[in-house]
Structure formats: structure tokens, C-alpha cells
């Protein structure tokens, strides 16, 4: 059977017409199906509370290295490592024969000058009383006696000063504790020669630490310094006592950043009456970071960090609008942001840099 050319042409035209009418609809349906659903949320302010663990160091509240101020030999050593001492307690006695001889000479000169002054003063007083009778003593003799008395008084004062100076040097031979604490280091033995310029002065004779009260020092990174203030209480632990939790409050803040670490030194006072903490221990401090004011908080997926900057995408009358923000702290799946946002703004929860400004949402 032969095909009719007219029928063939008519069939082809109808087929093209049918395809032409269905094509745009099919393409539209396909495009609508490809568009992802964009979930949105209302932005609100909140106070984030987090914790930060940092290493810290325990040290004696007071610590001093004791050196000899005068040269001498160690005559008595009354303490050793671990000895608990009280303020003013005698720790070490030095022997310096030359100082003892100097002190004896100064004392002898002092007594001699005192006797000379007493004699010259007595002579002046006698002449002065005699001069009250006219013609018995000349005015020149009285003036000379007065000058001699003044000179002898000056010599006596000088002898007093010399004696006091050598007495003070003599007191340096006795080394006493400047405060109550524990002897943690001893670098000298009986008979050793010590002094400011003698052998043995390279190291301190003794080191004393106050251990009833300790300092806990921690360096706070720059971005967290705004969350802490005087009086804040925090917890810490040490490796030697893993089950024990200690507490301390902030007493001192440096108020400036260390130029090398870019951190602020914060100190806490730790009362150590049971002496289970030792100076030099490394502690782990748990810092509570509670925001002082409310901030914008969004899901992490709403924040885009691209080469074009950091931003969130706001729905503005059905169109995408990028809002530049700065990032704050991250806590689990939420993050602080700072930017030109307002309460109730509609933000895209799952944002990406492929969503451009002005795109219909």
C-alpha cells in the first residue's frame, strides 16, 4: 500500500505542533523540580555560655632567694630543704673576723671621743661660769673653749655613725627569714666562703617560698579577655590529684597583652592549708565564658565564609540580600555574628555563596 504524501506531511506537522506546545511546559516543570527548598528562620539575640580549658602554673605567693651581703664563712646552718620557718627566724650565721675587729675598733674610738667631748664641754662650762666675774677670763679663751667643744662633739657624732655602720654590717652576718614559708633550696654547706664577690655567690644560699597561699597564673588569649573580670570564680585540676577539683577567684589582671603570646596574664589566689598543692605544678583551668550582653546567634550553616567575605543571606521582600558580618564564638552548631541585623530578620538557614544578591527566593 502506498503512503499518501499529503497524509505524511500532515502527520509531521501535527507532531511538531504537539512537541512545541509541550516543550516549554516540560522545561518549566523540570526547572521547578530542580530548585531546592530554602529553609529560613527568624534571627534573635541570645547569651552564649561556654567553657575554655587552659594550662596554668602554680607558684609560691612569695618567693625569695637569699644571698650574703658581706663576705664570710658559714659558721652555723640552722635549716635545710623542707624546713618550715617563721618570719624573723635565724637561718644562717656567717663568721667574718675582720668585721668583728672593725666593730671593736669603732667602739673604742666612740668611747674615746665621748670622753674627749665630756672633758672639753666641762672645760667650757667652767670657763663660762668663771667669766661671770669681771676680769677673770678673757673673751678669747671662752671662744676657743667653745670651738673645741663643738669640734669634739662633731668627732663624737662621726664615731657614732661609724660604729652604727659597722654594727649594721655585723648584723648582715645573721641571715633571717623575711616571711614565713618553707626552705625549698639550699646551695651552701658549713665552712663555705660566701659573699657578694666571693665563690659561692653565683647561686643563692637559700630559697624560701610561702606555700600556705599560692598564685595560680594563666594566660588568657586576646579574643577571650572580654569575658573575664575581677572576682570571677573558676575551677582547676592538677595531674597529681585527678579526682580533686579546686576553686579560685580572679584577684589580679595584667590589663595589657603580652607582646609575644598576645594574651593577658590573670592571677588567682589559692589557699593551700592542707599543702596538697606544690609550687611549680601545672594545672588545667576551666574558664567559664559567659557573654556580658546578648548577641546575634545563628546556625553555623547560615554563615558563609568565602573569598568575597563573611556574610549571611537575608530575605528582603522575597529577594536575597547578603549582609556582611563578623564571626564570634562557636558553640556546638551555633555561632555568634556581629553585623547590620535586626530582630526578626528572615535569614536563609542553609546559605551558600552561589546565592547572589537580588536572586528571587
pLDDT in tens, the chain (361 residues): 444 544 444 444 444 444 444 444 444 443 343 335 678 899 888 877 777 889 999 999 999 999 998 888 999 999 999 999 999 999 999 998 888 889 999 999 999 999 999 999 999 999 888 888 887 888 888 889 999 999 999 999 999 999 999 998 899 999 999 999 999 999 999 999 888 865 556 889 999 999 999 999 999 998 888 888 888 888 999 999 988 999 999 999 999 998 888 999 999 999 998 889 999 999 999 988 776 677 888 999 999 998 889 999 998 888 889 999 998 878 778 888 999 998 888 999 999 888 888 888 7
3-state secondary structure of 148: helix
Please state, in angstroms and rounded to a whole number, the distance separating the CA atoms of residues 249 and 261. 23
Q: CA nearest 114: which of 160, 50, 53?
A: 160
CATH 2.40.30.170 boundaries in the chain: 52-61+212-290
CATH 1.10.287 boundaries in the chain: 97-172
Instruction: Name the fold adopted by 52-61+212-290.
Output: Elongation Factor Tu (Ef-tu); domain 3 (2.40.30)
3-state secondary structure of 246: strand
CATH 2.40.420.20 boundaries in the chain: 294-348
Please state, in angstroms and rounded to a whole number, the distance separating the CA atoms of residues 296 and 333. 14
CA 41, 43, 47, 49 torsion-angle sign = positive
3-state secondary structure of 132: coil
* 205 in Cβ contact with 183 (< 8 Å): no
* 285 in Cβ contact with 216 (< 8 Å): yes
Please state, in angstroms and rounded to a whole number, the distance separating the CA atoms of residues 27 and 330. 43
What is the per-residue pLDDT for 274? 87
Angle in degrees, CA 233, 237, 242, rounded to 5: 150
CA 321, 327, 329, 331 torsion-angle sign = positive
What is the per-residue pLDDT for 289? 76
Quick one: CA torsion of 236, 241, 245, 247, rounded to 10 degrees?
-50
Q: What is the architecture of the domain spanning 294-348?
A: Beta Barrel (2.40)
Which residues are CB-neighbours of 223 under 8 A, at least 6 positions away?
none
What is the per-residue pLDDT for 24? 46
3-state secondary structure 292-318: CCCEEEEEHHHCEEECCEEEEEEEECC
* 109 in Cβ contact with 212 (< 8 Å): no
DSSP per-residue codes, 216-228: EEEEEEGGGGGG-
**Bridge partners (DSSP) listed for residue 56:** 218, 283
What is the bridge-based pairing of β-strands 241-257 and 263-271?
A: antiparallel
Q: What is the architecture of the domain spanning 97-172?
A: Orthogonal Bundle (1.10)
For 332, the enclosing helix (H) or strand (E) is: none
For 61, the enclosing helix (H) or strand (E) is: none
For 98, the enclosing helix (H) or strand (E) is: helix 97-130
Query: Hunting for cell 662621726 — which residue is that?
Result: 158
CATH 2.40.50.100 boundaries in the chain: 69-93+176-209
Q: How many CB atoms lie within 10 A of CB 60?
A: 22
Q: What is the CATH number of domain 69-93+176-209?
A: 2.40.50.100
Please state, in angstroms and rounded to a whole number, the distance separating the CA atoms of residues 131 and 142. 8
What is the per-residue pLDDT for 198? 56
Amino acid at each position: 500500500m502506498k503512503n499518501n504524501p499529503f497524509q505524511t506531511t500532515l502527520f509531521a506537522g501535527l507532531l511538531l505542533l504537539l512537541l512545541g506546545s509541550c516543550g516549554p511546559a516540560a522545561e518549566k516543570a523540570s526547572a521547578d523540580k530542580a530548585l531546592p527548598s530554602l529553609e529560613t528562620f527568624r534571627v534573635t539575640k541570645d547569651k552564649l555560655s561556654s567553657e575554655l580549658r587552659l594550662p596554668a602554673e602554680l607558684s609560691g605567693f612569695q618567693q625569695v632567694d637569699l644571698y650574703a651581703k658581706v663576705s664570710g664563712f658559714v659558721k652555723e646552718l640552722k635549716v635545710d630543704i623542707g624546713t618550715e620557718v617563721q618570719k624573723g627566724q635565724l637561718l644562717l650565721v656567717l663568721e667574718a673576723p675582720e668585721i668583728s675587729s672593725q666593730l671593736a675598733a669603732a667602739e673604742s674610738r666612740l668611747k674615746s671621743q665621748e670622753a674627749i667631748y665630756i672633758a672639753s664641754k666641762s672645760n667650757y662650762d667652767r670657763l663660762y661660769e668663771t667669766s661671770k666675774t669681771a676680769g677673770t677670763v678673757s673673751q678669747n679663751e671662752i671662744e676657743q673653749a667653745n670651738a673645741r667643744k663643738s669640734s669634739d662633739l662633731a668627732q663624737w657624732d662621726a664615731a657614732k655613725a661609724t660604729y652604727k655602720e659597722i654594727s649594721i654590717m655585723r648584723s648582715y652576718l645573721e641571715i633571717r627569714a623575711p616571711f614565713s614559708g618553707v626552705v625549698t633550696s639550699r646551695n651552701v654547706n658549713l665552712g663555705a666562703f660566701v659573699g657578694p664577690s666571693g665563690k659561692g655567690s653565683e647561686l643563692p644560699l637559700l630559697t624560701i617560698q610561702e606555700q600556705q597561699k599560692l598564685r595560680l597564673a594563666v594566660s588568657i588569649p586576646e579574643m577571650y579577655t572580654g569575658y573575664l573580670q575581677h572576682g570571677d570564680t573558676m575551677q582547676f585540676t592538677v595531674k597529681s590529684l585527678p579526682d580533686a577539683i579546686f576553686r579560685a577567684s580572679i584577684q589580679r589582671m595584667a590589663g595589657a597583652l603580652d607582646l609575644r603570646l598576645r594574651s593577658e596574664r590573670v592571677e588567682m589566689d589559692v589557699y593551700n592549708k592542707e599543702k596538697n598543692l606544690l609550687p611549680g605544678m601545672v594545672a588545667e583551668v576551666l574558664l567559664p565564658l559567659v557573654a556580658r550582653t546578648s548577641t546575634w546567634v545563628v546556625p553555623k550553616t547560615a554563615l558563609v565564609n568565602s573569598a568575597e567575605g563573611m556574610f549571611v543571606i537575608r530575605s528582603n521582600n522575597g529577594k536575597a540580600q547578603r549582609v556582611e558580618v563578623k564571626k564570634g564564638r562557636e558553640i556546638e552548631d551555633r555561632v555568634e555574628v556581629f553585623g547590620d541585623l535586626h530582630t526578626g530578620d528572615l535569614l536563609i538557614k542553609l546559605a551558600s555563596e552561589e546565592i547572589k544578591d537580588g536572586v528571587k527566593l
